[in-house]
């Protein structure tokens, strides 16, 4: 095929980026993912310069993040009079900034000056490494990683073996293998797509067999109750509505039959449990069992987004401070700069980070690892020394209405359960609340915009998964070795081709 012009390359790159976004939850049109990657590899091979290759990656990334993260606009529409004007700028700057993590691997792959097939394979490795960097740089933002396109399929179970980044690498590598059918020559070009299909089929069958097994059961039959008040964000802190939503929490917690523990969502109450014994007595007296809830706390002049365990005797049995804070939502990066720009009040006040992940052991509750909202999107934040029996996520997704945001957040929580082999209880203010088993299946759930509670017996944890034992390090090392190998052999192939062409001429 003739190399496309700049306008055509740009249009195709934008379309491929949108296709990759559609492959993510909640639509989960996963067949689009390898096809879109293959198209982008073909564009890379037809790019006339490294700069043109970088533009392909940047445009695809911008389209992907703009389409996939469009839900961030909803947060600015909660108080549209004050913040509505920021919505397009927030989405545009976010998509543009994150697209740099796509433009860089395309530029590097083109700079390597390899044969087209080798460049496609190299791109898969470099792209994965760049996505790994996105999960860590500047506090990290590992939302919508490539491997999440399989969240609704049996292939997601392979994350228990090697985690989301290796799953993302295999996804990108599968697309590169499809591109080899067009870009490469000889037996390798013919066999690469077949090999990719066989690997995907093997993973699919292994995942299906894993999902066919029932969830392991606890011997004690520990029952949890998840309460969802369905408090719209624009109503949540209105003075006349605060007691209404608080009453909902209490009534749902007291409904028979009595569970073994009750879970409320993030920032469930506006008061400070540490400093309000009457509040704790009200909660404990109504529930009669330990209550896990989200609320703020203060220490000196610092404020924390916290999780509390209120014991039946109304004492604070345990507390945990969120340590991964949302930039611009819970703290303001570069505060001096934004103060000069007159935007120092953008967050409405900043929280201080907690000390880091830790397992909570409170009387009457199996030990759990707490996750407050945003913390559940980080696969690297699940290791805290002692292995817990389960994960507990408190979140408030009301900021994002009925958009794709709550569904994507839920999908990532389910991936954490699969990766760690641990059940996860998720209490969300307006949904989606759920109990998730160690294979990522929802045992019970409350949908978006529903008020009520669900009770379920907590599943037992699985033995530590391979990924829980190893983390990302060995797999990222393997991808580095793969990328170096592509450069070494790809340059050899390109050099031999150049020599052959020169001798023929």
The string of pLDDT tens digits covering residues 171-218 is: 999 999 999 998 877 788 889 999 999 999 999 999 999 999 999 999
How does pLDDT run across 6-23, given as a tens digit for each residue? 999 999 999 999 999 999
Residue 500 catalytic? no
- Only one residue has tokens 């860590």, namely 136
Set 266, 330, 375, 419: catalytic member? 266
Set 131, 177, 330, 373: catalytic member? 373
**Pairwise CA distance, residues 370 & 381, whole Å:** 11
**Predicted confidence band of residue 339 (pLDDT cuts 50, 70, 90):** low
For the entire predicted model, the pTM comes to: 0.94
- Only one residue has tokens 């190998």, namely 485
Whether residues 13 and 47 fall in one domain: yes
Set 131, 322, 375, 486: catalytic member? 322
Whether residues 442 and 476 fall in one domain: no
pLDDT at 186: 78
Q: Is the pLDDT of residue 244 over 60?
A: yes
Whether residues 98 and 143 fall in one domain: yes
- Residue 1 falls within a domain, yes or no? no
- Answer yes or no: are the C-beta atoms of 114 and 124 closer than 8 Å: no
Residue 236 catalytic? no
Whether residues 247 and 346 fall in one domain: yes
Q: Is the pLDDT of residue 503 over 60?
A: no
- Residue 374 falls within a domain, yes or no? yes
How does pLDDT run across 277-306, given as a tens digit for each residue? 999 999 999 999 999 999 999 999 999 999
Whether residues 273 and 399 fall in one domain: yes
- Only one residue has tokens 């992907």, namely 64
The secondary structure element, H or E, covering residue 484 is helix 473-504
Domain span at residue 335 reads: 223-466
Whether residues 45 and 107 fall in one domain: yes
- Residue 188 falls within a domain, yes or no? yes
Residue 413 CB neighbours (<10 A): 23
**Pairwise CA distance, residues 172 & 491, whole Å:** 21
| Contacts by 273-276, CB closer than 8 A, 24 or more apart | 273/297, 273/308, 273/310, 273/316, 274/298, 274/308, 274/316, 274/319
**Pairwise CA distance, residues 309 & 318, whole Å:** 5
Q: Is the pLDDT of residue 492 over 70?
A: no
Whether residues 419 and 486 fall in one domain: no
Whether residues 257 and 313 fall in one domain: yes
Whether residues 421 and 476 fall in one domain: no
Residue 240 catalytic? no
What would the 3-class secondary structure string for 176-245 be?
HHHHHHHHCCHHHHHHHHHHHHHHHHHHHHHHHHHHHCCCCECCCCCEEEEEECCCCHHHHCCCCCHHHH
Q: Which two tokens stand for residue 474?
A: 């060995």
Q: Is the pLDDT of residue 245 over 80?
A: yes
| Burial of 346 from C-beta contacts in 10 A (0-12 / 13-18 / 19+) | middle
Structural domain count, the chain: 2
Nearest to 306 by CA among 318, 316, 294: 294
**Pairwise CA distance, residues 300 & 454, whole Å:** 38
Supply the CATH number for residue 374's domain.
3.60.110.10
């Amino acid at each position: 095929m003739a190399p496309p012009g700049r306008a055509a390359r740009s249009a195709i790159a934008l379309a491929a980026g949108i296709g990759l976004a559609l492959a993510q939850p909640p639509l989960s049109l996963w067949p689009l993912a390898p096809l879109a990657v293959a198209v982008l590899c073909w564009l890379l091979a037809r790019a006339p310069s490294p700069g043109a290759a970088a533009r392909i990656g940047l445009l695809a990334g911008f389209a992907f993040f703009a389409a996939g993260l469009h839900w961030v606009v909803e947060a600015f529409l909660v108080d549209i009079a004050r913040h509505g004007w920021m919505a397009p700028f927030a989405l545009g700057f976010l998509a543009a900034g994150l697209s740099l993590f796509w433009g860089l691997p395309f530029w590097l792959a083109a700079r390597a000056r390899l044969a087209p097939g080798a460049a496609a394979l190299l791109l898969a490795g470099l792209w994965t490494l760049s996505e790994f960097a996105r999960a860590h740089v500047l506090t990290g933002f590992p939302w919508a990683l490539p491997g999440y396109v399989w969240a609704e399929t049996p292939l997601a179970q392979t994350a228990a073996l090697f985690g989301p980044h290796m799953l993302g690498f295999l996804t990108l590598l599968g697309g590169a293998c499809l591109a080899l059918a067009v870009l490469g020559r000889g037996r390798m070009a013919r066999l690469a797509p077949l090999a990719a299909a066989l690997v995907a089929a093997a993973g699919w069958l292994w995942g299906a067999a894993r999902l066919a097994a029932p969830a392991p059961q606890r011997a004690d039959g520990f029952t949890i109750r998840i309460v969802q008040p369905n408090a719209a964000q624009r109503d949540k802190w209105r003075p006349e509505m605060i007691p209404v939503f608080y009453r909902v929490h209490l009534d749902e917690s007291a409904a028979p039959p009595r569970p073994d523990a009750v879970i409320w969502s993030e920032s469930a109450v506006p008061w400070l449990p540490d400093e309000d014994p009457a509040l704790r007595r009200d909660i404990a007296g109504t529930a009669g069992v330990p209550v896990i809830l989200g609320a703020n706390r203060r220490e000196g002049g610092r404020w924390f987004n916290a999780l509390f365990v209120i014991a039946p005797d109304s004492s604070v049995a345990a507390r945990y401070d969120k340590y991964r804070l949302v930039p611009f939502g819970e703290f303001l990066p570069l505060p001096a700069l934004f103060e000069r720009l007159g935007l120092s009040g953008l967050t409405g006040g900043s929280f201080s980070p907690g000390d880091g992940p830790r397992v909570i052991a409170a009387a009457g509750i199996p030990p759990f690892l707490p996750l407050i909202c945003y913390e559940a999107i980080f696969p690297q934040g699940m290791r805290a020394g002692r292995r817990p029996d389960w994960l507990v996520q408190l979140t408030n997704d009301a900021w994002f209405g009925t958009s794709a945001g709550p569904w994507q957040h839920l999908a990532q929580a389910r991936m954490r359960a699969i990766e760690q082999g641990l059940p996860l209880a998720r209490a969300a203010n307006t949904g989606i609340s759920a109990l998730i088993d160690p294979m990522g299946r929802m045992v019970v759930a409350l949908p978006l915009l529903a008020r009520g509670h669900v009770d379920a017996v907590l599943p037992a944890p699985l033995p530590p998964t391979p990924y829980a034992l190893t983390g990302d390090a060995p797999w990222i090392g393997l991808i580095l070795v793969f990328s170096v190998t592509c450069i070494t052999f790809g340059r050899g192939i390109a050099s031999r081709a150049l020599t052959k062409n020169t001798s023929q001429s």
